Structure 1
Amino acid sequence: MARSRVGICFLDRPDPLRQVRAAKLAEERGFESVWVCETRLARDAFTIMGAMAANTSRILLGTGIVNSWTRGPALMALTFATLDEMAPGRTICGLGAYWDPLAYNQGIERTRPLTQMREYTEVFRRLMNLERFTYEGEVVKVRDIELDLGTGRERLPMHCPVYIGATGPQMLESSATYADGILLNAMMSTEYTRNAIGLIRKGAEKAGRTLEDLQLPQLISTAMDDDGDKARDMGRRIVTMYLGQQPHIAQASGFSADFLGQIHEVLGGWPPRPGGLDAAMKLVDDETVTRFVVAGTPDECLKLARGYVEAGATYAIPLVVSSESTEQIIEVFAEL
């Protein structure tokens, strides 16, 4: 039997140097890819990815994801061109449309996100292809621009696939017309994954493409411990946080407005009031936890993860929920 493909993803945990060591371990255990996220203002992805590039030789390095608003397409292309110099042919640009209120709080007004993402991707690709051009899009505009690259570097186009971290139905369908892959979001159920792939198929067909033209890896928030109850409690915390912090994910996951209202009221908003998170966690039962998080013992986690691949994802990418289980997750998923 052919070995299953598998990746590993880090958000704001564990600490950066441990993430680098974990990337080396994942490479040693045969993982295909390692991904670093930016969502909250916690840690940036590229500092860590640069260190990973310098300390690995084979594993693919992806952003899972970074947003398409705080860095313009030229800076994004320059950053990936530099990473490509350190890790030739091993980079994947994972882009997301960001979310409010975090974008709004930084003074970013996201306009026409579907158009912005498509135009941003086109400009990024042309820059990575070392074109010199002007682009007057509806949202994205660059003028007489090209990548200079560093002194002594041969000017050769760079291959860097673009994956869109799509969640909502319109972005899923739209990005399927032009992306190299769709990075399916964490904190989603297998039912969501099946529905999402239906929308991706619909979008791909509009562009004369098929699902086989796209990579469809699935991020899966993973809380693992030999004590399954302890793992589910870790998962309960992250589920409750997302319900309060990222309502677009909560809505896409099928939570009722009444339930979300209860969570929001008990949390006291976001950031939560003192004691609000612990109080809101009591509203989230085990069934809800394991519907949206791969949580439990190693065997339970592998079973839950396989459900996403059976639902149509290309392969699973566990997203580390608790720092203490980082290495265990890698060792266990190496057997997927």
Structure 2
Amino acid sequence: MKANFDREFTRAGIWNWEKPHIEDEIRYAQYAEEAGLDSVWQGESRLVRDAMTVMGAYTQVTDEIDLAPGVTNCYTRNVAVMAQTFSTLHELSGGRMKLGIGAWWDPLASKVGIEREHPLRRMWEYCTVTKRLLDLENVTYEGQTLSVDDIELDLVRSDAQPRDVPIYVGATGETMHKLTGELVGKGIAGGIFMNYLIPPEHNLKGLEKLKEGVEKQDGTLEGADRPQLIAVAMDEDADVAIDQARGLATQYIGQQPHIRKASGIDPELAEKVQAEMGGWPASAEDIERASQYVDDDVVTNIVAAGTRDDVIDRVRDYCAAGCTEPVVYPLTDNMEAVIDALAEAKAEA
């Protein structure tokens, strides 16, 4: 697939997590809405703040901006609890919720006793049953990774209308892209939430598979929404921005095989990063030592890092490679300035 999508973007969002104070995350959600952005995605991939609780707070301090976990996972909450949670958030938000679901990652999953033996099958079955429950169906389902018997959302004392909560599958690998395409083509998912810390050209490989999957179910690629998480480091001094992004790039190259594979780093250097850092969890000192193997070119290949113009130009590279809504995660301590830059670029489109 060639990079022939529009470089400009008319939708944009932010990704919130791990701010020093939870009040900061709430304030940034409000600021993003006031600036004219379209979405706030709450991270939950590691054992940090619970996304559902924080998003519940967002529903009470914002009015229009869309809200989503970016992403939760398809293992730790059973399908009934997930549907119940998003039915509640749908009510609290006035219908502004999206549901981002990923397949989680090891070694974290195995450390809490979860065996990810069939992640693709699990994603298919989990999304299928969750969607049916949110549509207020009575569901009996016998699958390979989950089964439910005669369940439905019990809404006899509340608004008993189907919950319009589009599902977005968090994907990095090509096989998950294809499966997501099939889920979109069947009307189960609304789109894909593409991962961060990958170069834009990686999108094209995934979107080829997304297109293959959606067309297999008689859909079109245009019918698959494609927001993407993009790590951003912005500073008036480009070298300062790149240095501030190096730690996260190092951490994920060392900890997460799918990021390491997609990052473009030389495999031998990646092995040195992993060995020096020692896997997960890693201390700040571990990451600092391993970062000696991650040069500027590696950082700027997977992070939109540099001046304001550098950052926006790189974000547009991701849009040219198929992203329909950049969702930025600032690594520098200037969230409001990044939001302003993104809002200005959106307004210029």
TM superposition score normalised by structure 1: 0.95
RMSD of the TM alignment (CA)? 1.6
Alignment length, in residue pairs? 333
What is the match of residue 27 of structure 1?
Answer: 33
Secondary structure of the residue aligned to 2:232 is: strand
Question: Cα gap change, 1:49/1:262 in structure 2, threshold over 3 Å: closer, same or farther?
Answer: same
Matching of residue 88 in structure 1 with residue 94 in structure 2: yes
Aligned-partner SS, 2:140: strand
The verdict on how the C-alpha distance between 1:288 and 1:73 changes in structure 2, with shifts beyond 3 A counting, is same
Q: Report the equivalent of 2:4.
A: none
Partner of 2:118: 112
* Match among 338, 342, 349 for residue 329 of structure 1: 338
What code does the residue aligned with 1:33 have? Answer: S
Residue deviations 1:68-88, cap 9 Å, x none? 111111111111111011112
Pick one of 197, 200, 204 that aligns with 1:194. 204
Q: Which range moved further: 218-227 or 271-280?
A: 271-280
Quick one: which amino acid aligns to residue 341 of structure 2?
V
Is 1:40–2:49 an aligned residue pair?
no
Residues 257-316 of structure 1: CA deviation (Å, up to 9, x unaligned): 312211112223333367321121121111111110111121111111111001111121
- Secondary structure of the structure 2 residue equivalent to 1:91: coil
- SS of 1:135's partner is strand
Of the three residues 136, 145, 148, the one matched with 1:139 is 145
1:256 and 1:282 mapped to 2: Cα distance?
A: 14
Which residue number corresponds to residue 16 of structure 1? 22
Structure-2 residue corresponding to 1:304: 314
Checking the alignment, whether the CA contact within 8 Å between 2:171 and 2:195 is kept in structure 1 is: yes
Q: Confirm whether residue 61 of structure 1 aligns to residue 67 of structure 2.
A: yes
Q: Does the residue aligned with 2:258 lie in a helix, a strand or coil?
A: helix
Report if the CA contact (8 A) 2:174-2:205 is conserved: no
Partners of 2:284 and 2:22 lie apart in 1 by 28
- Aligned mate of 2:159, from 113, 135, 154: 154
Segment of structure 1 superposing worse, 14-23 or 53-62: 14-23
Q: What is the SS of the residue equivalent to 1:244?
A: helix
**Residues 144-293 of structure 1 mapped to structure 2, 5 A cutoff:** 144-149=150-155, 152-178=157-183, 179-272=189-282, 275-293=285-303
- Structure 1 residue runs of 5 or longer lacking an equivalent are none
> 2: distance between equivalents of 1:230 and 1:281?
15
What is the DSSP-based 3-state SS (H/G/I as helix, E as strand, rest coil) of the residue aligned with 2:115? coil
Q: Distance in 2 between matches of 1:239 and 1:210?
A: 34
Please give the per-residue CA displacement for 1:83-102, whole angstroms capped at 9, x wherever unaligned.
Answer: 01111221000000010000
Q: Residue 290 of structure 2 aligns to which amino acid in structure 1? A: A
Of 319, 323, 327, which aligns to 1:317? 327
Amino acid in the other structure paired with 1:333 = L
Shift of 1:136: 0.8
Structure-2-length-normalised TM-score = 0.92
What secondary structure sits across from 1:49 in the alignment?
helix
Cα offset, 1:146, TM superposition: 1.0
In the aligned structure 2, how far is the partner of 1:286 from the partner of 1:80? Answer: 41
Cα distance change on mapping 1:312 and 1:280 into 2, 3 Å: same
Q: Which amino acid aligns with 1:224?
A: M
Q: Report the Cα distance in structure 2 between the residues aligned to 1:275 and 1:155, rounded to whole angstroms.
A: 53
Give 3-state SS (helix, strand or coil) of 1:183's partner. strand
Q: Which amino acid aligns with 1:308?
A: Y
SS in 2 for 1:8: strand
Secondary structure of residue in 1 paired with 2:182: coil
The amino acid that maps onto 2:340 is: E
Q: Aligned partners of 2:89, 2:315: CA distance in 1, in Å? A: 30
Aligned partner (choices 103, 112, 125) of residue 109 of structure 2: 103
The 3-state SS of whatever aligns with 2:293 is coil
Retained in 2: the 8 A contact 1:129–1:158? yes
Structure 2, unpaired ranges of 5+: 1-7, 184-188
Q: What SS class does the counterpart of residue 176 from structure 1 fall into?
A: helix
Does the 8 Å CA contact 1:181/1:214 hold for their aligned counterparts? yes
Question: CA-to-partner distance for each residue in 1:40-82, whole Å, 9 max, x for gaps?
Answer: 1111111110110111110000111001111111111111111
Query: Shift of residue 3 of structure 1?
Result: 6.7
> Which 10-residue stretch deviates more, 176-185 or 5-14?
5-14
